[in-house]
């Protein structure tokens, strides 16, 4: 199993997604007086001057990342059934693209659910860049599974 290159790509994707569970900032917004920092653990607000408090905890985002890591693990471990692994790899890539695009949409449009004031500054954090770096590895894993599937299908035609 480890001799296949897509297994390495799946492990890299799981490591990148698991690093988000440590509380790395994905994006931050500012309304002039307050800064709002979003991670998968929740939203943290800080007043310019140092007071920090948790606004809300999004256990759904935390559970989503855990379930997604488990889906990637399931896709990696279903190497005996290439059709299932190919289908799961496509699902993993599709969900990954939707996840990155949804974060990009929130930061681009400045969707404000934290402050009654208008958002004046938005910046993405290290977690977003890390999440974006994992996207090509998910694609490469899909291409590796696709190559194996084509190879086995051609061998089955020869038999």
Report which of 128, 126, 20 is spatially closest to residue 66, judged by C-alpha positions.
20
26, 39 Cβ separation under 8 angstroms: yes
Q: How confident is the model at residue 56 (pLDDT cuts 50, 70, 90)?
A: low
CA atoms within 13 A on the CB side of 63: 4
Confidence at residue 80, expressed as pLDDT on a 0 to 100 scale? 87
Mean per-residue pLDDT, 34-40: 79
Mean per-residue pLDDT, 54-73: 84
Q: Apex CA 137: angle with CA 61 and CA 26, to 5°? A: 35
Mean per-residue pLDDT, 125-148: 92
Q: The domain 5-158: what is its CATH number?
A: 1.20.140.150
Total-model pTM: 0.84
Average pLDDT, the chain: 84
CA distance linking residue 142 with residue 145, whole number of Å = 5
Q: How confident is the model at residue 76 (pLDDT cuts 50, 70, 90)?
A: very high
Report which of 20, 43, 21, 62 is spatially closest to residue 111, judged by C-alpha positions.
43
Q: Check whether 133 has a pLDDT greater than 80.
A: yes
DSSP of 28-42, one letter per residue? EEE-SSEEEEEETTE
DSSP summary character for residue 4: S
Helix axes 126-158, 82-109, angle to 10 degrees: 160
Q: Check whether 58 has a pLDDT greater than 70.
A: no
Q: Check whether 41 has a pLDDT greater than 70.
A: yes
CA distance linking residue 101 with residue 112, whole number of Å = 17
Higher pLDDT, 31 or 148: 148
Mean per-residue pLDDT, 89-99: 94
């Amino acid at each position: 199993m480890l001799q296949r290159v897509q297994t390495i790509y799946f492990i890299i994707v799981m490591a990148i997604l698991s690093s988000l569970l440590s509380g790395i900032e994905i994006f931050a917004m500012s309304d002039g007086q307050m800064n709002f920092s979003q991670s998968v653990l929740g939203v943290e607000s800080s007043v310019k001057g140092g007071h920090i408090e948790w606004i809300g905890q999004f256990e759904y985002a935390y559970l989503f990342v855990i379930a997604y890591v488990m889906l990637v693990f399931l896709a990696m471990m279903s190497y005996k059934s290439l059709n299932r692994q190919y289908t799961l790899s496509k699902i993993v890539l599709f969900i990954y693209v939707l996840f990155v695009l949804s974060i990009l949409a929130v930061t681009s449009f400045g969707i404000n659910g934290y402050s009654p004031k208008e958002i004046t500054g938005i910046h993405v954090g290290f977690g977003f860049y890390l999440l974006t770096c994992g996207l090509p590895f998910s694609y490469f894993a899909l291409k590796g599974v696709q190559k194996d599937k084509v190879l086995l299908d051609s061998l089955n035609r020869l038999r």
